[in-house]
Every structure is written in structure tokens, then in C-alpha cells.
Amino acid sequence: MKFDYIIVGAGSAGCIVASRLSEDPSIKVLLIEAGGSDRGPIMSMPAALPFAYQSKRLGWGYESGPEPHLADRMIDEKRGRVIGGTSSINAMIFNRGNPMDFDGWAQRGLPEWDYAHCLPYFRRMETFADGADEWRGGNGPMRISRCQAKHKLYDAFLQSGEQAGFALTPDHNGHRQEGVHVAQAFIHNGLRWSSARGYLHPARHRENLEVLSHALVNKVVIENGAAMGVEISQKGNRRTVVCEREVILCAGAFNTPQLLMLSGVGDADQLREHGIELKAHAPGVGRNLENHPGVNLQYATRYEDSLVSELNIFGQAKLAADWALRKKGLGTSNFFEAGAFLRTRPDVAFPNMQFEFLPLTRQIRNGKLVAIPGFQFWMDLSRPESRGAVTLKSADPATPPSIVFNHLESRQDVEDLVAGVRLARAMIRQPAWDRYRGTELTPGADAQSDADIERFVRANLGTSYHPSGTCRMGTDQEAVVDSDARVRAVGRTRIVDASIMPRIVTANLSASIMMMAEKISDRILNKPPLLPASASYYRAPN
């Protein structure tokens, strides 16, 4: 069977591109995934997400580091190696990003990527449980629910935000992102709603779509400056699969640049070090790596006040039974049911800090992640200034790439995280917490000076698992792809994943990746773009 398009990676973007292209029965599509099936309770039950995260079978097992500004620490980076990719194992939090993110992309020479042009594709991809309006969609494949946030600690979080002077925004994916909010999630009828469930599963019956799982792509086969197909390894055998039109890389911000470099597309000097034949000198491949670095602020509370009281052995049995029999109860929650987008300083136009609230605390004890009575604020930087890179460790496709974020290289990032800890503490001092507030577990009451808080941040910094930017879209010489996601250095090659983001968005990445996949699918098919929207959005007063 000959294919028109080969798509590498059945993740958040790849499932969408495969589904949209194969809607035309005359187009033959091959979707290749290194992992296996997304069937099973730990990927279907929202509350089972810690097990999905920790599963070695479902992940790539990547770490970043040694991180030079964090005492050479290594940091875990969860990436899904399974049908649905990271959308099959992540926390399911639905945040689009701030409209100013996309207007910022337009200001970088990409006018068709402003908010007005992106909003119609956000609307097309979703069915929002609260119904459609000028910001939200009502007839798309991705089912988005509003979290119930019934636990009393969610109430305390939301009330403390208002008491601290922040707005309660009714829909942070609508007119106004900034403020505290009840969260939204990729959850429907008690099930995780991954891109595989929304897009790929309904398309699997199509005769013109083939899905090849447990297959590692070794390289893109490039001849005369254009992609002709891919070389894959499966069950110990290597073979080449050719295509008539394009190879589309949807392998993510780590694996896509790695694959380009293994194919001979990257910085010539680096490729020469690994004995890889140069196909095209493209020094931007692997650079500009971004993430959302952050820390947890944790407090103790009484057992009966924390969600832990509902998760004892009897509570866990009830959770499992309610979910298995009725798709009801705590099993349908990701537990991140409230959050906030806030500014720590007045000289930024956008919320530079994201908070995700959890009505329990989780700590590593005897090598295991356990829940203890309390609550915690996860806080991360929305648009950090520090940049890192993905490079090759080896010419062997099975060897993970080198991933170094250079977290906290920028002094501004340090200062913003210190300010974020102080902002969170200011919220927790509000009257709404008087009934529940116990001992501060991390960073602890002794960490009061900026220097104390900075030491805590450097020792405990993690990420939200949001890598992006390593094959950046743009018009300058170092940009890897153009505004239609075509690789500038090689013909018949496109990239559709977080690696092409010109700048990271002020949110979790899944929703924006899916929007990009919808938008670029139209470009691949030469369809006219959806008309730009006229919906307004909130800008903070000067």
C-alpha cells in the first residue's frame, strides 16, 4: 500500500492530523506510534492519572539535565509513549492560553496566528459542556467539562483569591483568563477524553487510514533535499516506508528535533560529531527549548478537612466501584479542580504565574508518592525567559536525546518564582483559610527572606511537563518551520506539535497543540482558513 502522508507520532496533534486528512477517502494516511494501545482503566479513569504518569510502559522515561543552575540536578519529564501520546497520561487540564499569547505570535511576523485567526479553530475542536458562545465551541470532537469543585477546600481557595483582591473569572477560556477560576478538563461522562478518543478512535474504521503501533521511526529518508519516507524499526526489523506527498512530524518537542537531527537536518558541526551525513544545515533545530518551571507550596490540615479522608482503603474501593459501575464519583475527577492565572508584578500585561490547587498534599515517602492530609498550590512561570536545547547523545535512535532547559538562567525567572511564593502565602493568610490552615510544610515557616525562598526554589524546582519551541515557527533565519509548518530546510516535510510554538503559551499546552493541528490540517489540505473571529478579550488596565 502506498501512502500519501506519513504521520510520525499518534499524540495530541498526530491523532488530529490523521483524522482530518483521512476524511478525504482519496488520501491514504499512515500514522506511526512508538507505543501501544490506549485501552485500559488507568488511561480511562481520570483519578488514575498518577498511575498513568508513573507507568514505565506508557512513558519515554526522559529526564532533563544536568541542569546547570540547579546544582546539576536531573528533572523528570513525563511524555506519553502510547496511542494518544501525552494526552493519554496527562492531568487533563483544559487551558487554551491567553489571547495575548497568539497576538504575540502575530507580532513575530506570523499574522495568521493571531487570536482572531486561532479562536475559530479552538471553537471547532471542542464541545464545551456549558454550551457554545462567541468564545466556545459546541460541536467539536474534544469534550470539555467544567469541574465540579465541590470539596470545601476548593471553596476556600476561590474565596481566598477574591479576598486577596483577584477576580473570580467565570470562564478563563473565554473573555478573561486572568483571575481565580473553577477548572475545566478533557473529561466527558467520567472518562479521560484524549485526542485518540476524540479524533482517532472514530476514524479507525477508514480503509485509507492505517495505524502502525510499537514502531520506532529511526529517521526521515531524505533524497535530493526532500523527504521520501521514513525508516522504522519494529519487532527487531528495519524497513523503509515511502510516501507520495509529505512526512509530517508530530513527535513532540523532544523527539521531533531528535528525529530531524538523526535524519541529517540540524547544526552541521553537531551532526558531524555523531557521524551523521548532513542533509541540510538548520542550526535552529533543537534550540529555544521552553517549559513551565515551578514548585509546590504545601500546607497541613486536619485529616477530616482534606480530601485524603475520602481516599482511605474504603474510600478507594468506593471510588473504584462508583467509576466502574456508574462512571460517577471521585474516579471521574483529576482533582485539579480550581486554579488561577495571576500577575506577580504590574509591569507585565499577562498573568505571569499559573496556580493549580489540590485539596491534598503528595510527598515521596520510601520511594513512593503518597497522599497526606493537607492542600497544595502548584505554581509555575507562564512565560519564563530562560532557554535550553535538545541535542543528540548518540546517532542511535533508541538513545534518548540530551535535554537541558537551563531553568533559572534568567534572574527575572528567579525573582518571579520568589514573588509567586509570596503571592500564594498572601492568599493562604486570607480569612477563608482560618478554619483549615495548618503548618506550612514547604517551603516552611523558616523560609522568610528572598534568599531563603530562592534556596527552596532551586532545590525543589520541577516542571509542568510542557516542553515547546525546539523547531520554532517564524520568518527569521533560525526559524525551523514557516507559518504553514513546513520545514524550511527540507522539502515535503512538516511539523505539527509543541516544538513549533514561537513562544510558549500562558497555559497547559494540550489545547493549543490541538488547535494548531486543526489549523495546519486545513493548510495541508489547501482548504480556505476559517474566517477570523471578532470576539473581544480582557486586557489589564495600565
What residues contact residue 221 under an 8 Å CB cut-off, 6+ apart?
A: 227, 228, 229, 230, 231, 240, 242, 263
The answer for 123, left when phi > 0, alpha when psi is -120 to 50, beta otherwise, is alpha
The Cα 372–Cα 441 span in angstroms is: 11
Q: What is the DSSP letter of 199?
A: I
What residues contact residue 48 under an 8 Å CB cut-off, 6+ apart?
A: 41, 42, 331
Catalytic residue chosen out of the listed positions 117, 188, 292, 466:
466
The Cα 461–Cα 453 span in angstroms is: 11
The label of the residue with cell 498513568 reads: 52
The Cα 153–Cα 375 span in angstroms is: 8
Neighbours of 365 (CB within 10 A): 9
The Cα 73–Cα 44 span in angstroms is: 33
Which phi and psi angles does 338 have, rounded to 5°? -150, 150
> What nine digits make up the cell of 177?
483568563
The Cα 334–Cα 49 span in angstroms is: 7
Neighbours of 465 (CB within 10 A): 21
The Cα 9–Cα 215 span in angstroms is: 10
212 - beta bridge partners? Answer: 32
SS (H, E, C) 47-58: HHHHHHHHCCCC
Strand locations in 235-333 (E): 237-249, 265-266, 280-281, 293-300
What residues contact residue 253 under an 8 Å CB cut-off, 6+ apart?
A: 289, 390, 467, 468, 469, 470, 471, 497, 498, 499
466 is catalytic: yes
Catalytic site positions? 466
